[in-house]
Amino acid sequence: MTANRALELLWRDDRRPARGPQRGLTVDRVVRAAIEVAEADGLAALSMRRVAQHLGVGTASLYTYVPGKTELEALMLDVIGADDPLPHERPGDWRAKLEAWARADWAEFRAHPWVLQLVNKSPAPGPNLLRWIDSALRVFDGTGLSEAEKMAAVESVDAYVRGLARQHLDQAEPDPEQDRLLAELVDFTRYPSLLRVLRAGVRPWSGDQFEFGLQRLLDGIAALIDNRSAPPEGHQ
C-alpha cells in the first residue's frame, strides 16, 4: 500500500537498514532538490529525471529513498510550510489571527504557485498539516462555537483562500492581441451586466478582490460568534 509508506515517510520512521553500503543521500536532500526544481522551473518541469540530475545521481536511485513521485510531492508539501508562523501564534483576537494567516497564505500561493497546484494531492496527512489544523482550531477557543463549527470555520476560510488563489493562478496575464480577437468574436452587448463591470475598470479574477470576500466571510463568522456569546435578551 503506497499510502502507508507515505505515512511512514511523512512521520520520519527512518529506521536505516543494518546491511548494505552507506547511502549517498537522504530523503531530506531529495525533497529539497525537488523543491528547488519546482521553485526554479515550475511544477511542470518537476520530473524524477530532473531531480536526479539536480542531485548528480541516476534516476532509478531516487526510488531507494522515495517510493514514487506521489510520495515525493507529499513530502515537498509538508516541508514547505514547516516554518510559517501558526495561526494561534499571531497577535490579536480570533479575527486578527485568522486574517493575518489568510493574508500570509494568499501571499505564499502567489509567490510559490507550485504549492497551490500540489495542495490537496497528499495521500496522507503529515506533521505540518496536523500542526496547522490544531493551531487553527485553537484560534476559536473561547468563542462559544461548537467543535463542528470550529472545524467548519477553519475549512471555510481555507477553502476561500485556496479557491481564490487558484482562480488567480490559472488566469492568464492580459494579452492585448487576445483581447482584440475576443472583442472581434464576441458580441458583448449580450452580456450587459458583465459589460458594466468591465467598463467600471474591474478585472475579473485578477485577485484584487481578495480582501472583500475575506472580510465578508469573517463578518459572517463574527456575527455567529456574537449571537452565541450575547445573553438571551428580551425579544425571541
Considering only residues 145 to 204 of the shown chain, the ones binding DNA according to CB under 7 A are none
The dihedral built from the CA positions of residue 225, 215, 118 and 23, taken in this order, carries a sign that is negative
Residues constituting the chain: 236
Query: Rg of the chain's alpha carbons, rounded to an integer?
Result: 23
Q: Which of residues 157-196 bind a copy of itself (CB under 8 A)?
A: 158-164, 166-167, 169-172, 175, 177-178, 181-182, 185-186, 190-194, 196
Indicate whether 111 belongs to the interface with DNA (CB under 7 A): no
Q: Residue 63 or 191: which CB sits closer to DNA?
A: 63
Question: CA 32, CA 38: separation in Å to the nearest integer?
Answer: 10
Contacts of 184 by beta carbon, 8 Å cutoff, 6+ apart: none
DSSP state of 63: G
Indicate whether 4 belongs to the interface with a copy of itself (CB under 8 A): yes
Indicate whether 72 belongs to the interface with a copy of itself (CB under 8 A): no
Indicate whether 48 belongs to the interface with DNA (CB under 7 A): yes
CB 74 within 8 A of CB 6: yes
Question: CA 134, CA 59: separation in Å to the nearest integer?
Answer: 38
Q: Residue 73 or 105: which CB sits closer to DNA?
A: 73
Q: Minimal CA–CA distance to 119: which of 69, 154, 163?
A: 163
| Cell numbers for 132 | 496547522
Q: Residue 22 or 120: which CB sits closer to a copy of itself?
A: 120
Indicate whether 68 belongs to the interface with DNA (CB under 7 A): yes
Q: Least distance to DNA from the beta carbon of 208, Å?
A: 32
Indicate whether 18 belongs to the interface with DNA (CB under 7 A): yes
Indicate whether 121 belongs to the interface with a copy of itself (CB under 8 A): yes
Indicate whether 27 belongs to the interface with DNA (CB under 7 A): no
Which residues of the shown chain bind DNA in the complex (CB under 7 A)? 17-25, 45-50, 57-61, 63-65, 68-70
